[in-house]
Amino acid sequence: MHAEILSVGTELLLGEITDTNAQYISARLKDIGVDVFRRVTVGDNPARLEAAFREAIGRADIIIATGGLGPTEDDLTAQCLAASLGRKLVFNEAAWALIEERLRKRGRAGSEADKKQAYIIEGGLFFPNREGTAPGQAVLFDGKLAAILPGPPREMRPMFDTQVLPLICKTYEGLQPILSVNLKLVGIPEAKVNEVLKDLMESANPSCAPYVGVGEVRIRIAAKGSSTREAQLMLSKVEEEVRRRLGGYIYGQDEETLEEAVAVLLRKRGMTLAVAESVTGGLVCHRLTGVPGISRHLIAGMVAYSPKIKVSCLGVPSEAALRDQAVNEEVARSMAEGIRRLAGADIGLATTGFAGPEGGTEREPVGTVYVGLSDKRGYLVDRQVYPGSRSSVKEFGAQRALYILWKHLKEWEK
């Protein structure tokens, strides 16, 4: 059983908005054992959209389209799907009643343009839209299913989850569920992960594949079985083996973030943290403050961008602040120690470096990032040189700082 996704809208082709709908639908279909073979983006052109539907119908068992269901003239999705099937659009009183109700709640009456949304493909069914006005639709034909859904994600997602997925599962019995887990690693390069997991990566089912992110590696393990139980057993066996081999680098899984893992360890250790940032410009604190409850542990943050502020507020030696434009090991160490003392925290964390494109010295080129960490036992300093744009260097630097902190907290009792 395989599917094709059509994303409708000229704004998608122009790059004006990001197509998150296709990603969401692909992930949800995978969960129930439907393979997505193609994802196609089509503009608001009736000839091209109708052709895209005809091609998808010829290739796939399930066709899901998003976008183009509104009241304006360029909303053509229902019209084009109907034409590709040789069917008419029929006005549906029940659909119109729901649309009018939604419009009344917004304080206006329905217009003739709004009625366009109540035309349903002959022989099809409509899905009520609880978040907007345009209903979704689905048609079963020749053992195939075509569904068209609104474009706004807040409307599309609940409709897909509560209407389309149950319809697919009811229509196509015996689907083999695919279960997956994503393990997130820091402190180890992709090449080393490939080396350690080479034998596991040779299997097609269950599969094991690494993906590179910003300063981390994600390992996706997936398994397809004749039942959820069988798939879970296959998945668990491989996950257990990956954790046995690389457990020291795994900070979380699926949607968990590195800052959340840091917060868990701060809570477990009962420790407080203060952060002084230069090159990362507050990005470390920004990520940490996205974690609920972090205020019990993160007690201070400072963006000490100017060398003068590093000296006057954090006690960085003047000579160190003047050397290599305040990008060196001593500055990183002094910043971490200074913010820890200033805030009375258990741990001080600091970043300094050159994000570029200007700056840099012969000893410390653009892309250099120092991370300093200080506690009552002493200090450590880490130096890395990152390629890429200014924003990329900042992102890598913030990720490295959180990794250094996570590793330090993880090994605290050792």
Predicted confidence at residue 73, as pLDDT, reads: 84
Residue 155 near residue 13 (C-beta atoms within 8 A): no
Specify the residue for token string 């741990």.
Answer: 347
Q: Where in the chain is the domain with CATH 3.40.980.10?
A: 2-171
Rounded CA-CA distance 19/40 in Å is: 11
pTM of the model: 0.78
**What pLDDT score was predicted for residue 381?**
98
pLDDT of 412 above 90: no
Over residues 281-313, the pLDDT tens digits come to: 999 999 999 999 999 999 999 999 999 999 999
Confidence of residue 414 (pLDDT cuts 50, 70, 90): low
pLDDT for position 95: 93
Q: Please state the length of the chain.
A: 414
Nearest to 80 by CA among 40, 121, 134: 121
Span 329-348, average pLDDT = 98
- The mean pLDDT of 348-369, rounded to a whole number, is 96
For CATH 3.30.70.2860, list the domain ranges present in the chain. Answer: 178-253
Give the pLDDT confidence of 70-124 residue by residue, as tens digits.
888 888 999 999 999 999 999 999 999 999 988 888 888 888 888 999 999 999 9
Mean pLDDT of the 28-42 span: 93
* Structure confidence at residue 173 (pLDDT): 86
**Cα angle 378-384-390, degrees, rounded to a multiple of 5:** 125
195-199 long-range CB contacts below 8 Å, 24 or more apart? 196/245, 196/246, 197/242, 197/245, 197/246
Q: Which range (50-54, 114-118, 239-243, 366-370) has the least confidence?
A: 114-118
CA distance 414 to 409: 10
CATH architecture of the domain formed by 2-171? 3-Layer(aba) Sandwich (3.40)
Which residues are CB-neighbours of 408 under 8 A, at least 6 positions away?
347, 373, 375, 380
In sequence order, what are the residues at sequence separation of 6 or more whose Cβ sits closer than 8 angstroms to the Cβ of residue 28? 160, 161, 165
Higher pLDDT, 68 or 227: 68
State which CATH number among 3.40.50.720, 3.40.50.10790, 3.30.2040.10, 3.30.70.2860 fits the domain covering 178-253. 3.30.70.2860
CB atoms inside a 10 Å sphere around CB 335: 33
Task: Give the whole-angstrom CA distance, residue 153 versus residue 141.
Answer: 27
Domain 258-410 has CATH 3.30.70.20: no
Tens digits of per-residue pLDDT, 250-293?
Answer: 999 999 999 999 999 999 999 999 999 999 999 999 999 999 99
| Cα 144 to Cα 168: distance, rounded to the nearest angstrom | 10
The pLDDT score that the predictor gives to residue 107 is: 86
Handedness of CA 103, 109, 113, 117 (dihedral sign): positive
Assess whether pLDDT exceeds 70 at residue 339: yes
Intervals of CATH 3.90.950.20 along the chain: 258-410
The pLDDT tens digits of the residues spanning 116-175 come to 999 999 999 999 998 999 999 999 999 999 999 999 999 999 999 999 999 999 999 888
| Spatial distance between the Cα atoms of 216 and 258, rounded to a whole number of angstroms | 9
Contact, 50 vs 84, CB < 8 A? yes
**What letter does residue 27 receive in the DSSP assignment?**
H
Whether pLDDT at 413 is above 80:
no
Q: Give, as one character, the DSSP assignment of residue 215.
A: S
Q: What is the pLDDT of residue 174?
A: 84
